[in-house]
Structure 1
């Protein structure tokens, strides 16, 4: 199979601030594989977690290096391709893009959407949360109003872990809740709390009807999760602490759920493994995203019927998304009936 790479930049309608910083623009990579006149698409998005960083440049270089490695393979050979890319230590975002593209190629070959190839039921897809980043209480309320006017919102994910401390977190959260008192809320601290602050905040948030708290402690401080779980009245999910299925066994006793992202996991194949591993340990699962376009989020939506929670909203905050794919209906990100991933380039979409 032949590999092609194109770079594209997407701009956020509203910049997003989390505990680690602010982003308003990202440069992602569009990957296509072709064989027998069929082209499959995937996306690689840059991300960073602690000392782990996959930049656009690193992704692009890795894709150029693996192009000759992929040439002898067919898109049917996903297992062999995955092992070949792991052997050369290809970044997980690169593996994700290639894996997406191979699934897309297969669906297009047999003229079926990927979710249907897996026998999944779109009626089981839950509403996605949409994200409100760290900001002043007034700005956070304004952002909530923007979301409510822009799309059919059912769930807000509120980013906490403010560098100004948990008092600032409390004020901002109450402001958002005041703006949308009837919605469901999730909270994501992105590792921005210390253990004492996490204990205090989970107790405080529990009285406000929060569903769960995501990544309360920084990656690398997982030893504190046991005490936090014992004292938290809310379920604890991890994101930055869990990349692949091999991370789940050592976390399972200390958390209630995991956030699966295609860029971390290395693609749909590993994401499916993570779902099954998590469920075997009695954990809940959610699917999340980085600054992904409709291409990657539509790929993740193929697995959405298996998720307890969804946070696939990054494409909704883009002003120049080059792709169209999954539909938004009643707050849910629904994969369509087109073959493969069901993604089209915006310029040619109908």
Structure 2
């Protein structure tokens, strides 16, 4: 099989601020795998969690270093390719790009969309949330109105963990709730709270109709999740504390759910394992994204019938997304009937 690798840059319509900083532009990596006249597409996007930093440059260099060795494989050799990628210490985002491209190739070879190959029901896909980043109360309200006008958003994810403290969080959240009184709202602190602040905020947010709280504590403080869960009236989900299925057993007694992202997990293959592992531990499942284009978000949309909550909105905030794929219908991101991922390029 032949492998082609290139980068593309995407710009956000609205810069996104979380507890760790602001992102307005990213350069992602596009992978093409060709065999038998069929081309499969995959994407890697950079991200950083603590000391875990997967930059565009490191992802690109890793893929370029293994591309010659991968050419001996067939796209049918997905298990062997995955083990080779792990042994070669490829960053998880690089593995994700390869794995998604292999799945896309297989679907195109079979002439079927992935959701149909997996026997999934698109009618079970729940609406995706759209994200309101940390900002002033006035700016946050403006962002809510932008989303409502754009896709009639009814599910919001509000980023909290403001470095200025929980009073700033409360002021911004109160403004968002007033602007969207009927919306379902979850909160993501991106590890921006201490244990004591997390307890206070979970109690306060429960009074304001929040559905769940995501990553209230910094990664590395997983021991404190247990006393938080015991005191919190809201379900606790983790994102930065959970990369793959192997992380779940040690988290299962202290959280209610986990956030699966392609770039953390290493692709659709590990995402499936993570879903089943979470279910076996009686945990709920949500899907999330980084600065992913329609390519990566469409890939996860094929598995979306298996998720309880979805946060696949990053491509909706891009002014120059080079791909088209899954579309928004009644707030739900639905994959189409085209073979493989069902992705086209402008």
TM-score, normalised via structure 2 length: 1.00
Aligned length: 346
Measure how far apart 1:110 and its partner are: 1.0
**1:239 corresponds to:** 239
Between the aligned partners of 1:42 and 1:131, the Cα distance in structure 2 is 24
Aligned to 2:337, the other structure's residue is in SS state coil
Between the aligned partners of 1:110 and 1:224, the Cα distance in structure 2 is 47
Between the aligned partners of 1:11 and 1:293, the Cα distance in structure 2 is 10
Between the aligned partners of 1:117 and 1:66, the Cα distance in structure 2 is 29
Measure how far apart 1:152 and its partner are: 2.5
For the pair 1:56 / 2:49, whether they are aligned, the reply is: no
Measure how far apart 1:68 and its partner are: 1.4
1:67-216 equivalence runs, <5 A: 67-216=67-216
Question: For residues 128-162 of structure 1, what are the alpha-carbon distances to aligned partners after superposition, in whole Å with 9 as ceiling and x for unaligned?
Answer: 00000000000000010111111131200000000
For the pair 1:27 / 2:31, whether they are aligned, the reply is: no
Between the aligned partners of 2:132 and 2:169, the Cα distance in structure 1 is 12
Question: For residues 192-233 of structure 1, what are the alpha-carbon distances to aligned partners after superposition, in whole Å with 9 as ceiling and x for unaligned?
Answer: 000000000000001111110000000001110010000000
Between the aligned partners of 2:218 and 2:159, the Cα distance in structure 1 is 14
Give the gaps of 5 or more residues in structure 2. Answer: none
Aligned to 2:250, the other structure's residue is in SS state helix
Aligned to 2:211, the other structure's residue is in SS state coil
Measure how far apart 1:118 and its partner are: 0.3
Measure how far apart 1:6 and its partner are: 1.3
Aligned to 2:254, the other structure's residue is in SS state coil
Aligned to 1:30, the other structure's residue is in SS state strand
Between the aligned partners of 2:101 and 2:66, the Cα distance in structure 1 is 14
**1:315 corresponds to:** 315
Asked if structure 2 preserves the Cα contact closer than 8 Å seen for 1:152 and 1:329, the reply is no
Aligned to 1:61, the other structure's residue is in SS state helix
Aligned to 1:34, the other structure's residue is in SS state strand
Aligned to 1:251, the other structure's residue is in SS state coil
Between the aligned partners of 2:235 and 2:110, the Cα distance in structure 1 is 41
Between the aligned partners of 1:223 and 1:258, the Cα distance in structure 2 is 16
**1:228 corresponds to:** 228
Between the aligned partners of 1:95 and 1:8, the Cα distance in structure 2 is 18
Between the aligned partners of 2:222 and 2:165, the Cα distance in structure 1 is 21
Measure how far apart 1:21 and its partner are: 0.1
Between the aligned partners of 2:208 and 2:117, the Cα distance in structure 1 is 41
Measure how far apart 1:73 and its partner are: 0.7
Question: For residues 311-334 of structure 1, what are the alpha-carbon distances to aligned partners after superposition, in whole Å with 9 as ceiling and x for unaligned?
Answer: 000000000000000010000000
Question: For residues 100-133 of structure 1, what are the alpha-carbon distances to aligned partners after superposition, in whole Å with 9 as ceiling and x for unaligned?
Answer: 0000000001110011100000000000000000
Between the aligned partners of 2:62 and 2:302, the Cα distance in structure 1 is 26
Between the aligned partners of 2:233 and 2:6, the Cα distance in structure 1 is 47
Between the aligned partners of 1:305 and 1:118, the Cα distance in structure 2 is 10
Question: For residues 274-303 of structure 1, what are the alpha-carbon distances to aligned partners after superposition, in whole Å with 9 as ceiling and x for unaligned?
Answer: 000000000000000000000000001010
Measure how far apart 1:191 and its partner are: 0.1
Aligned to 1:249, the other structure's residue is in SS state coil
Between the aligned partners of 1:306 and 1:87, the Cα distance in structure 2 is 29
**1:283 corresponds to:** 283
